[in-house]
Structure formats: structure tokens, C-alpha cells
Amino acid sequence: MPELIVITGPTASGKSQLAVDIASRIGCDIISADSRQIYRGLPIGTAAPSPEQLAKVRHHFVSCLNLEEYYSAARFEDEVMKLLPNLWHTNEREVMCGGSMMYVQAVTKGLDQLPTISESVRKKVIDLYDQIGLDGLMAQLRILDSEYADKVDPHNTKRVMHALEICFESGGTYSELRTGTTRRRDFTIRQYAIDLPRDVLFDRINARVDAMIEAGLEDEAQRVYHLKHLNSLNTVGYKELFAYFDGTMDRNTAIERIKKNTRVYAKKQLTWLKRDPDVRFLPPEDILAEILA
RNA sequence: GGUACCUUGGCCGAGUGGUUAGGCACCGGUCUGCAAAACCGUCUACAGCAGUUCGAAUCUGCUAGGAACCU
């Protein structure tokens, strides 16, 4: 049975390099599971694989979308599931590497089939929110899908809005579409997370941000500044610099904020990973050794 | 030497007699279509000492540290 090796871990833990080491040894490609590296024009701030790494191993889903293009974990799942059989033609094992946990999970566990939200429904929900606010949205959701209304975090506007979108789009409830089941895949999945002591990880993060600044992150951010409202740029490393460009934050504060927010991001990734019993935390050398064994 | 002033939890920062201000970080958590997003929980401090008071971060005195002006 073909196998998918998943290399994940918090940001700045060294996933990219480890994946390249593994892929080059076993002769396979790398599927990147990163919701920001997938966009073009952000190589520095997203710590995308270097030109050398890209030259050494073929990467998928890196630098292939314009910033204004919509993307999602569901699309990622679809595209990866289409791609994998082709890759397995030549290699029995493939590597997926990335820190966008939702993307990783979409591939490893599958997402439920939900309707694609039309432009009109999307607008309708936004207008509704403007008119009746979050409380009104919650009241509406309680009528249309009381089961999910009890479950959802009532303060989380995005989730409430999304549930309503699905109700409107499908004419049914969000609850009935949520099966909560893991999709059976016809391939083996091995998941590893890079395990580093937290203080080491935080040091790496701080040093990497300094290196990004050295490497020209400010210029990179400047080039996309005019697109700052896009979701693809609601990203650590850019939003802070945009505030600096706007004059609402001084440069040093912006850099410190990038470090801080990157640490916060890493923590959230760890929280996600820790609760998944299928993910094994190991030091990078052990991961490599085990795969090559 | 004189006058007036400041000192709040890891950081920022409200609060002039009587609920836990708040924000950020740390730590912990949620997560099924924008996820590097969005959201939640925890952390009870008032420089020290002695007073006044039923009750003090808030008033008084002294001590320590900081900072201003005058000679």
C-alpha cells in the first residue's frame, strides 16, 4: 500500500529542511501543506523553501497562487487527493510537509462535503451581520440550526457566519452535514512532528525573524502593501510591517511584534498537534533515522 | 540644604476609603471550506514599615529607590 509521510511541527522547527533531507533520500516529491507559502511573492516572510531546496526536490503547492486568489483547506484536500495517485506511480512513499494544521488534517482525516458558498449567500450573510450584529446572527442560527448553535462559540463571528452560510446555501442545517467521521484513505499515513524544547524553538523563531529582516522582508512587504486587505496577507510578518508603513507602529515594535506573534502561532500549532494521537513527536534526527530504517 | 513629585502583578496601564479595571505576554485550551485566521480560559498586584479607620492601592509619618526645580 502506498504511504504518505507527514512531516509537521511548529513554525521554525526545521520542517522544510528535514522534508528535503527525507525526500531526497527516498527519491520522492514534497507536498507542501502551508496556507501562505502557496502564494506567490512571499518567500521571505513565509520562510518558503529556498531556491536550493526547491532545486533539489520537486515541491508542490509552493508559490503557485496570486495573492487575491481564494483558497481553502477543502481545495487543498481535493487537489492533494488528485495529485497523490500520480506521484505514487513512481514512488511508493511521498512526503507532505507543512504547518497549516487544518490543511494537514484535511488530507489525513478528510473534510465533510459542504456546499460551496455562492457569492450571493456570502454577501447576504455579511449584510446580515452589518444589520443585526453577532447576536442577531446567533439568534438566526438558533432558528435554522439549533444543534450547531449550542455547539459553536457564540463569540466567534467567523464560525457563526460560516454556519449560516451553509444553512442558507444548502437549505438544510450545518449539523446534518457534519459527520465527524474520519475518511478512510487507501494509503498508509505516518505523521511526525518535530519535537524541540520550547526555549530552543522560541530562540529559533526570534533569530529567524531577525534573519528575515536581514534578507529584505521590509521590501517584500512593501511590494504587496497595496494588497494589505487580502486574507492572504493577514499573515504574521506582514500585518505588523503594514502597521509600521501606516505609521501606527514604530519599526522596532513591529519587529518585536512579529517575533511575539510567531511565538503565539507556534504555540497554537503545538496545541493542535498535541491532541492528535496519530502524530508522533520526535527530535528531527530520530524522524529521519526511523524513515530511512 | 530647600520645595514639590513619583514608585501598581513579567510588561504596559486605570483607579484619590469599601466588587476581580483593562490590555499584552506567559501558561492552558477550541478548531470540519479565508486557519500564519477567528475565538476561549487562567494568572488577584499595588516599594517597605508603622499609623489613622469598621475598612487603605487610595489618608498620615518614617525608610528605600527614582526623577524635577531652587540655592
pLDDT at A182: 86
Per-residue confidence band for A230, with pLDDT thresholds at 50, 70 and 90: very high
Is the CB atom of residue A200 positioned under 7 angstroms from any atom of strand B?
no
User: Residue A207, CB, less than 7 Å from strand B?
Assistant: no
Q: CA-to-C1' distance for A99 and B34, Å?
A: 17
* Nearest by Cα to A203 from A266, A254, A250: A266
Residue A24: predicted pLDDT = 96
Enumerate the nucleotides of strand B whose atoms come under 7 Å of any protein CB: 24-40
A126-177 has which CATH code?
1.10.20.140
Domain boundary assignment for chain A: 3-111+183-292, 126-177
pLDDT for the residue numbered A137: 96
- Nucleotide B26 C1' to residue A281 CA (A): 23
Q: pLDDT tens digit string along A31-51?
A: 999 999 999 999 999 999 999
Q: How confident is the model at residue A276 (pLDDT cuts 50, 70, 90)?
A: very high
Could you read off the pLDDT of A98-142 as tens digits, one per residue? 999 999 999 999 999 999 999 999 999 999 999 999 999 999 999
User: Is the Cα dihedral A259, A67, A38, A219 positive or negative?
Assistant: negative
ipTM over 0.85: yes
CATH architecture of the domain formed by A3-111+183-292: 3-Layer(aba) Sandwich (3.40)
| Sequence-distant (≥ 6) Cβ neighbours of residue A227 within 8 angstroms | A67, A68, A233
C-alpha cell recorded at residue A55: 532545486
Nucleotide nearest to A236 (CA to C1'): B36
Statement: residue A152 has pLDDT above 90: yes
Q: Is the pLDDT of residue A288 over 90?
A: yes
> Residue A83's pLDDT is what?
97
> CA of A239 and C1' of B20: distance in angstroms?
33
At residue A248, does pLDDT exceed 90?
no
